[in-house]
Structures are given as structure tokens and as C-alpha cells.
Homo-oligomer: A and B are copies of this chain.
Amino acid sequence: MDSKAHMNPINRQWRLAARPQGMVTESNFQLTEGPIPEPGEGEIVMKSRFLTVDPYMRGRMADRASYAEPVAIGDVMTGQSAGTVVASRSDRFKEGDSVLATIGWQEYGALPAQEARRLDPTQAPISTALHVLGMPGLTAYFGLLDVLQAREGQTIVISGAAGAVGSTVGQIAKVKGCRAIGIAGSDAKTRWLTEDLGFDEAINYKSTPHLFQALRACCPDGIDGYFDNVGGPVTDAVIGQLALNARVAICGQISQYNLDRPATGPRLLWNLIVKRATIRGFLVFDFESRYREALGDLGSWVRDGKVTFKENIIEGFESMPRAFMGLFEGTNTGKQLIKI
């Protein structure tokens, strides 16, 4: 096969070498090499062009109860790729087709053709299937519109607002006529949110002397909806100023993922009585039956320029662990991707 002649003759993988104790380090990962897989009957082999690192992957590295099985020691780390079909034994795809699939942290992967999603590079760059037109965008969509039930005129606060999910939440909130208040960790991020994405206000929680009061200044009538990616003290400051009948969507708790032991914080349940408020944890997978509807909306907002995005791209497969660790250091603005 002619195309194979141009391929890297080996396949590389990042495997889980050891479970992290506290903060993730490079030593938790091992780079391995192996043959490029051959497709079985009904399968395709794809080459990753873009890989993604997402905060949820930290949960898969730990051996504790969660919503999905942990990655076993020695297994390839889990994750999605956007790339190209390089071999096919299925009628569904031919070589050269663009696809999205969950093949883990590796350069090549074989999978049943029906588990791949076709991408149309003439409609949108294939990398967007890893963020605004993929899982992070869907998470933003359902979290804001279903879990928070955001309505015109409401004040919506978003933590982790400069990440792939949070930045989309705020933009959809603006499409729906809400006030969008972002919380992020640098002045560059807060400027991006207000100047480029149309957030009404953004707060740098690292530099503000008093987050509670900064939020109060932005939200004098209280907070109707809170989209939480972060948890910890940022969330404490928000929960104390919910409006009546407020809703809180717990999407992620990135401030907590690298802690040695579960953290303590102020007890917050009394607030929920006072404000008749609701807190709900959710996963995007719970809304799978409605992905098509949501991707239709997201696609049209992206085409109309109502929802934009930023990609923070690191080149080279070998950079994946470093890119992943950067998520917890707040180095990315927008979506962190790895390009091969």
C-alpha cells in the first residue's frame, strides 16, 4: 500500500506506568513502541493527527471509585483522536477519510468501523471535533441548557472559564441572552474572555484580593446559574451568593484531582435551603441520545461566529504528558491539543 510507505514504521503509545500520588508527574507515564496494527474484518486503522488531553483523564489514572473504570497499569492511556483512515476493511470508510475515535494516547489505532465518527474537513477543521464540536462543546451545551436550564436575563457564573468547556459555556450563555461571568487564572485569560468571547465580566481569581467581593460586584442580584469546572475555594465563594432557586452544574472539580486525600471545606448545604437551590452533577454521556441536535446548534453558532474557540497546540506525540500536566497548572487558554 503506497500510503504506508510514508508512515512512520512504528506506532508509539503513552501508557500508564504508575498511579499518581498527588500531582501527576512524567514518571506516571511510559512511552512504548510497537507495530502499526492491521485492521481486522470490519475494522479500520486510523492515524492520529490531533490528540487531546482533558482533565477527566486524571480520574482514569486513579484506582478509586468513579464513573468509569480506571486505566490499568501498563495500559495505553484513554482518549480521543481526530485523524485519518490509513487502512480499512469496512465499507464505511476508505483510506484518507477523516474520523474521530477513541483509540487512546497512540499514533495509530485499529477499531471497529462503527465506533468511528466521520468528520468533514470542508465543514470545520477536524481538530474541532475534539473541542467545540465534540465532547467539550457538548458538555457545555447540555450543562448550561439542561442542567442549569439557563434562561434569558439570568446571571451565569463559570469557573475554569478559559478552558475548552468553560469558554463555550459562556458563549452559549450570551447566545441565550444571559449575563456571563467568567472566573479564570490569569489576566490574559480574563482579557480573552471579555474582549474576544463577549463575556460580560471576568475575574482573575489568582490576583483578586477577595473573590467573594469581586463576585458580588459583578452579581449584585445573586447568581442564577453556576457552571463549575473547578471546585474548592472558588466554588465556596460562588455558593455563598446564589440567587433564589439557583442551579449549580457540577461538571468538573479540577482543583481537587491532584490532592493526596479528599479536601475539607466549609459545609454548604444550609445555603441550599435558604436559596432553594439545586446542585447537580452530570456527565455528557447521559445526553448521548441528543448529540445530533446539539452538534447542529453548535455547528451553526460556530459558522455564524457566535461561538469561537482557541486551540493551544503542542507539536509532537512525545509532548503529551507535559501537555496534560499543563491543564492542572493552568497553562492552556482554550483547548489543549497535541498535533502529530
Contact = CB atoms under 8 A, between A and B. Distances in A.
Interface of A: 65-67, 228, 231-232, 235, 250-253, 256, 262-267, 269-283, 286
B279 A279 contact: yes
B266 A264 contact: yes
A267 B239 CA distance: 13
A224 to B, nearest CB: 15
8 contacts: A231-B269, A231-B270, A263-B266, A264-B264, A265-B265, A269-B279, A273-B282, A277-B280
Nearest to A263: B267
A230 to B, nearest CB: 10
Contacts of A281: 269-278
Closest 8 CB pairs of A and B: A272-B281, A273-B281, A278-B280, A279-B279, A264-B264, A265-B267, A250-B272, A253-B270
Number of copies: 2
B276 A278 contact: no
A272 B267 contact: no
Contact of A270 (B256, B273, B286): B256
A262 B266 CA distance: 7
A282 B276 contact: yes
A279 B280 CA distance: 6
A97 to B, nearest CB: 34
Contacts of A275: 67, 281
A279 B147 CA distance: 12
A273 B253 contact: yes
A66 B276 CA distance: 11
A102 to B, nearest CB: 20
B274 A67 contact: yes
Given A266-B262, A266-B264, A267-B263, A283 B273 contact: yes
A295 B270 CA distance: 27
Contact of A269 (B67, B228, B277): B228
Contacts of A265: 264-265, 267
Contact of A267 (B67, B251, B264, B277): B264
